[in-house]
Chain A
Amino acid sequence: MSDTSLTYAYAVARDRTPALVAEAGALTGVAGAPVHLLRSDRTTAPVAVVSPVPAEDFHEEALRRHLEDLGWLEVLARAHHGVIEALTACATLLPLRLATVYLDEDRVRAMLDHNQELFLDALARLDGHVELGVKLYIEAAPDTSAATTAPPEPALSPGRAYLRRRRSEQDARDDAHRAAEQAAERIAAVARSHAVQWARHRVQEGELATGPGQNVTNDAYLVPIAHAHAFREEVLRATDGFNGLRVEVTGPWAPYSFATLPEPGASTP
């Protein structure tokens, strides 16, 4: 059947525990096919989370074309993430990059064998941790009400009144950015007291940035599960006393931002 279906790999886990097998068995994958765990014939660990996908949509050329389509990409990304998220509840996972596709299951087994040591090391490092996202926003409109509601000074010409208003708007923006910087430092200090590792994502600003306000920091923290609750509470409280700022904590995520392997450097001189 390898000419009609390929094997899509989502993630790698350490053991085929009953809980993981049950959870995976209840899931539907990116193309509507059932998800299951795959183990090498030679070793019992690690295992890969896979599902079959139609070759017509996932061979190189089709995939390249589909991925240009934001609608298609969104469905794929959400399904990929959905599988990983559901399984994160019962096992530490090493998420694979979106669209990691193999010709058949034997090729996945070979991949597991080939990377066994790297996977087991990374899984050991991440075991018992989750990723939490922290974003700081400056609320939509810097408060310019002071400028607009202040009674107009009759002595000012319209031009000078305009300039004065512009300057006070600018001052309000500057204040907001200064406050955001202080808040960001406070958040980072609180967050790092719980986290074992952190990473910075780019701030979200484009059309997909849905949060109200202006995103000014976008971080990910690797946090021991036992600290996740305190992390969330304390980070959310870290902006108390600041006006016009909003902090958002997302997750827990599978440790996407911390699932990296040392570069094999095979092709570099």
Chain B
Amino acid sequence: MSDSLANRLGSLPSRSAPYQPSSSANLADILERVLDKGIVIAGDIQINLLDIELLTIKLRLLIASVDKAKEMGIDWWEHDPSLSSRADRSTSHLEEENRRLREQIETLRAEAALPPASAPEESAAARRPARPAKRPTTRPRPSPGDT
């Protein structure tokens, strides 16, 4: 059980740092460093931290906030090339451009009285709104190890 494991692993270094300790540092600050940063050297125990469900923790921790920042219009830094080292900058940029282009195409199609690009076989296609709401295609995964 995780309780006993936590106890077993629980012994923090026996001396507190003499160096303006941030041992009280908040977990988010620590996790973003120990999970995301630090040198990646292949160990014998092959664990790709980013592959496992830790990702869900990371999502809760960090990822959701990017959209929030955009929503608030404070994503100016994402466009600062000296700061943004992450690929997601260009990804989100492409996504945005992609979305804009799709909207333009739909607008043009509407003006030309063409059916929307999606699902041309369906007879109801012409009556669909230009940007149909996404249908959920996957169900939320049950959380692992819940007993």
A72 x B39 contact (CB < 8 A): no
Say yes or no for A208: interface residue by CB 8 A criterion. yes
The interface stretch among B56-64, B94-102, B112-120, B129-137 is: B56-64
On whether the beta carbons of A72 and B12 are closer than 8 Å, the reply is: no
Q: Tell me which residues across on chain A come within 8 A of B16, comparing CB atoms.
A: 86
Interface: B124 (CB within 8 A): no
Is there contact, CB below 8 Å, between B37 and A95? yes
Contact (Cβ within 8 A) B38 A31: no
Does residue A253 face the partner (Cβ distance < 8 Å to B)?
yes
Q: A111 to chain B: closest CB distance in Å? A: 6
Check if A85 sits within 8 Å of B21, measured CB to CB: yes
Residues of A close to B43: CB separation below 8 A? 9, 99-102
Give the chain B neighbours of A89 by CB distance below 8 A. 17-19
Q: Is A186 part of the contact surface with B, judged by Cβ < 8 Å?
A: no
Quick one: which of A203-262 are within 8 Å of B by CB? 203-211, 215-219, 250-253, 256-257, 259-261
Interface of B is mostly: loop
At the interface, yes or no: B44 with Cβ under 8 Å from chain A? yes
Task: Specify which of A65, A67, A199 is in contact with B49 (CB 8 Å cutoff).
Answer: A67
Which chain B residue shows the least CB distance to A228? B20
Q: A32-B8, A202-B65 are in contact. Are A86 and B13 (CB under 8 A)?
A: yes
Min CB gap A259→B, angstroms = 5
Residues of A within 8 A of B22 (CB): 85, 250-253
Q: Considering the complex, which residues of chain B in the window 57-87 have a beta carbon less than 8 Å from any beta carbon of chain A?
A: 57, 59-66, 68-69, 72-74, 76-77, 83-86
Q: Nearest chain A CB to B79's CB is how many angstroms away?
A: 12
**How many interface residues does B have (CB within 8 Å)?**
68
Task: Say yes or no: is A125 at the interface (Cβ < 8 Å to chain B).
Answer: no
Do A59 and B17 form a contact, CB below 8 Å, given A71-B6, A94-B39, A253-B33? no
**For the side of the interface on A, what is the size category?**
35 or more
Task: Judge whether A96 is part of the interface by a CB distance below 8 angstroms.
Answer: yes
Is B46 an interface residue, CB under 8 A from the partner?
yes
Q: Chain A contacts of B91 at CB under 8 A?
A: none
A75 CB-CB contact with B under 8 Å: yes
Binding site for B on A (CB under 8 A): 6, 9, 12, 26-32, 35, 57-60, 63-83, 85-86, 88-89, 94-103, 107, 111, 115, 122, 133, 173, 177, 180-181, 184, 198-211, 215-219, 250-253, 256-257, 259-261
Chain B residues within CB distance 8 Å of chain A: 2-3, 5-6, 8-23, 25-41, 43-47, 49, 52-54, 57, 59-66, 68-69, 72-74, 76-77, 83-86, 144-145
